[in-house]
Amino acid sequence: MLALINDVSEFAAVLGHEIAHVSARHASQREDQVRTSELVAVMRARLLNDMAGAEARREAARVSLASFSRTQELEADVIGVALVAKAGYDPYGASRFLQTMDRNATLRSPVRNAEGGPDFMASHPSTPERIREAILAARQHMAPEGRPRDRERYLRAIEGITFGDDPRQGFVRDRSFIHPRLGFTVTAPEGFTLENSRSAVTGLGPNEMAIRLDVVRVQANQSLTSYLSSGWIDGLSETTVEAVTVNGFQAATAVARGSDWSFRIFVVRFGSEVYRIIYAARDLNGEVDASFRTSQADPGPDDPRRRGRHGADLRPPHAGSRPRRGAVPRPQRAFRRRAAARRRAGQIRGRVKTAIQVGRDPCVRPRLGLCSSPERGNDKGIRP
């Protein structure tokens, strides 16, 4: 978020918005509403023995809570604008930042809201609505250019900041989801657009196709084929369940069919976790299913992506593919890495100590980047 902010007044607007949530007690109000709705649903189920009605009540409560949250967001925007204006900042910073957020969301997810209708389950109002309300609130306080924005000072403060997806949670590049920490990549078929969230990676493709990737824990003694058949997905065709390997990793796949959609499901075991890759299509014909089946791959130990660079798209699994090292290091492998790191540290200390004693340049091994020079390293004494 800091990388999207352009000046001090926009930064103040973000803080003002969050302060407004606290001062207006929005969190406690939402908690009260959730508790009341759940109590009504439970009492209806127990006293009237109406489970279907109770579930309908819960669904209506979720829609109501989402609407309530949207109202709170708009209220926090208005209160936040008043707070930053009172503190001496440009109140139009809120509307400018919301416009930046909207452009960033469009860039990151060009297929968002493809249907064009309102999302009644969204907890935040649409960005254009928030922008309009923020501008109206700012007009109550001052003219647009009445106060300095301190753009240059803010940009100097964030110079060099890291931004983008957290690599610990994986990130999307084109139609591939890359997880550097675990060392695997999933590449969707041609034409898909992916989006990463905290709970799952989702994507949309041509001809009403979709993909979802998430992770669950499955007991080590449970086979993946039995997990596929355990009932967590409706409409599974038992005759399509089969054990497969994805570049040497245990996996299983199957097909499930519903009234409107058909699904090709993969489950792949990485250490103690199982990754579920679910492709959905209106018409799961042979060609579409084949494209789904050839979209699973793993980089292998020597792939440049394992070293922090992003190479070409991965190839699908094929006969004779070599399994890479486990995504979760074995204890002895981790021990060897630590021992090697200690040896390298000792060698570096020894070279520096010797160089200082004899008056030589300690940068006797430029690739180690022990210090900076016009030809080697950088001004911080660390080689990239």
How far is it, in rounded angstroms, from Cα 285 to Cα 290?
Answer: 9
Mention every residue, 6+ apart, whose C-beta is less than 8 A from residue 148. Answer: 90
For residue 125, being part of any structural domain is answered with: yes
In the structure encoding, which two tokens stand for residue 261, read together?
């959609």
Q: What is the CATH number of the domain that holds 208?
A: 3.40.1000.10
**Is the domain of 114 the same as that of 207?**
no
Query: Is the sign of the CA dihedral 205, 210, 215, 219 positive or negative?
Result: negative
Q: Residue 160: its pLDDT value, please?
A: 84
How far is it, in rounded angstroms, from Cα 150 to Cα 164?
Answer: 24
**Is the domain of 30 the same as that of 150?**
yes
* DSSP element (H, E) containing 38: helix 26-47
How far is it, in rounded angstroms, from Cα 201 to Cα 4?
Answer: 23
Cα separations in angstroms, 240 against 135, 159, 250, 252, 362 = 56, 54, 17, 10, 64
Long-range contacts of 60-65 (CB under 8 A, 24+ apart): 61/33, 61/34, 61/37, 62/121, 63/120, 63/121, 64/33, 64/37, 65/30, 65/33, 65/34, 65/37
- Gyration radius (Cα) of the chain, Å: 27
In the structure encoding, which two tokens stand for residue 325, read together?
């090292």
The burial class, CB within 10 Å (0-12 / 13-18 / 19+), for 110 is: exposed
Q: Residue 306: its pLDDT value, please?
A: 39
**360 C-beta neighbours (distance < 10 Å), count:** 11
The burial class, CB within 10 Å (0-12 / 13-18 / 19+), for 22 is: exposed
**Is the domain of 185 the same as that of 150?**
no
Domain boundary among 130, 157, 184: 157
**Is the domain of 117 the same as that of 48?**
yes
Print the domain residue range for 339.
333-384
Q: Residue 177: its pLDDT value, please?
A: 87
Dump the DSSP string for 224-243. HHHHHTSSSSTTB-GGG-EE
**Is the domain of 228 the same as that of 106?**
no
How far is it, in rounded angstroms, from Cα 109 to Cα 121?
Answer: 18
* DSSP element (H, E) containing 279: strand 273-281
The burial class, CB within 10 Å (0-12 / 13-18 / 19+), for 363 is: buried
In the chain, how many domains are there?
Answer: 3
Start-to-end CA distance of the chain, whole Å, equals 26
**Is the domain of 130 the same as that of 243?**
no
With a threshold of 0.75, does the pTM exceed it?
Answer: no
Domain boundary among 95, 126, 157: 157
Q: Residue 299: its pLDDT value, please?
A: 40
In the structure encoding, which two tokens stand for residue 29, read together?
């109000």
Pairing state between β 273-281 and 209-217? antiparallel
For residue 13, being part of any structural domain is answered with: yes
How far is it, in rounded angstroms, from Cα 356 to Cα 333?
Answer: 35
How far is it, in rounded angstroms, from Cα 94 to Cα 78?
Answer: 9
Residue stretches of the chain with pLDDT short of 70:
33-34, 36-68, 108-126, 143-147, 291, 293-384
**Is the domain of 13 the same as that of 140?**
yes
Using an 8 Å Cβ cutoff, are 325 and 333 in contact? yes
